Structures are given as C-alpha cells and as structure tokens.
C-alpha cells in the first residue's frame, strides 16, 4: 500500500509517497512555483508527472491518498478567494489521483494536526524523522506537511473502525501526536538529508 500525502498550495505543493507496508521507500518533494490563470492546471500536470513516475517505479497494488483541504472561516485573515483557489488546487490533486485510486480523503488541517500550531507540528515531524530544521529549503513546511499527511493516513488505517459507523469515523481523535508518530519506523526519504 502506497500512502500519498499532498499539501496543496496556490504556488507550491508538497507531495510525499510512502510504502506503508514495508517502509522501504519514501519520496517527498515540493513542486515548482506556478502563477497566473493556468497555475492550477500546470500544478495538476506536475502532480501527475511526479506521481506517475513514482507509481510506475514501485507498482503498488493499492494507493491511499490524503489531501489537505481548506475551509473559509468567518473572521479569517486569509482572503476567501485565496481559499477558493487553494480548494481548486486540492481538487486538481484529487482529480489526478482519481485515475489511480478512489481511496482519497480530503481532510482539514485540524483533522490531522489537532490543535497544534503549524510550527510545533512541523518540528515534531522533523524530529521524528531526524531531518535537520531548515535543510529542506524555504518551502520546508509543504514537504513536511505532505510527509505528515501520509503518516497520518498510515496511522489512521491502523485504528479500528466500528462496522456500523461511517468510514471517516476513524478521523475523530486521530490527530498526529508524538506518541502516535513514534509507532512508525524511521525511514530514509529520497532527496531529504537526515542527521545521525
């Protein structure tokens, strides 16, 4: 089973793919900046290219994808049009992945991060995988969020599901924590430096 985490952004999208069965590989990267009216379409093509290359090389039998979705909150400092564009980027990612799998979850940041601040969650993931802070460049948060989303998907699927409940009932109370992350083995992530 390959778990794919995607942190969509208006200009930069973080993607991570992890073999959740054997933990024998992981690939993570941030896709290049796109601007203008065609940004989402060009981002979609980049997502397709990266995933097609990764999935062709590893030929997984099953794929699960976790995409961070967004919501417009009353009183938010983020302009609503930016959230709409971000939602479109998430939709493009879901559409591309739908050619490979129908096992796609769009989740809110609070579903997988809980109430943790973004910086604290980023540091927790960096610490677990022994990735030096700042070593991933100025778009580190996108790569780390994609890695966190993929890990969250793996851990979510380890939770028992009540047979009479909605499949997404596993989301409740399943935020990524240091204790839950410790259940995952360390793995080498292609293209990411680690410390000993």
**Does the pLDDT of residue 171 top 60, yes or no?**
no
CA distance 112 to 17: 17
- 96 or 125, which is more confident? 125
List the single range of 35-44, 79-88, 140-149, 186-195 with lowest mean pLDDT: 186-195
Q: Are 133 and 123 in contact (CB under 8 A)?
A: yes
- Domains and their CATH numbers in the chain: 2-181 (3.30.420.10)
**pLDDT confidence band for 148 (50 / 70 / 90):** very high
Q: Are 128 and 181 in contact (CB under 8 A)?
A: yes
pLDDT at 164: 52
**Mean pLDDT to the nearest integer, 51-73:** 80
**Mean pLDDT to the nearest integer, 140-160:** 86
pLDDT at 152: 92
Write out the H or E segment, with its range, that includes residue 32.
none
**Does the pLDDT of residue 173 top 70, yes or no?**
no
Q: pLDDT digit string (tens) for 18-52?
A: 887 766 566 677 776 667 777 777 777 787 787 77
């Amino acid at each position: 089973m390959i778990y794919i985490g995607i942190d969509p952004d208006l200009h930069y999208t973080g993607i991570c793919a992890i073999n959740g069965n054997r933990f024998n590989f992981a690939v993570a990267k941030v896709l290049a900046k796109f601007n203008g009216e065609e940004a989402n379409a060009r981002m979609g093509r980049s997502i397709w290219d990266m995933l097609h290359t990764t999935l062709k090389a590893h030929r997984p039998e099953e794929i699960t994808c976790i995409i961070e979705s967004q919501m417009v909150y009353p009183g938010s400092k983020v302009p609503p049009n930016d959230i709409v564009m971000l939602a479109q980027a998430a939709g493009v990612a879901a559409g591309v992945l739908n050619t490979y799998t129908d096992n796609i979850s769009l989740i809110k940041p609070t579903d997988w991060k809980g109430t943790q601040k973004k910086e604290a969650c980023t540091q927790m993931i960096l610490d677990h995988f022994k990735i030096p802070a700042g070593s991933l460049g100025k778009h580190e948060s996108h790569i780390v969020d994609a890695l966190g989303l993929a890990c969250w998907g793996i851990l979510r699927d380890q939770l028992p599901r009540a047979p009479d409940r909605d499949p997404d009932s596993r989301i409740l109370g399943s935020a990524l924590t240091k204790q839950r992350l410790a259940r995952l083995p360390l793995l080498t992530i292609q293209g990411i430096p680690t410390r000993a």
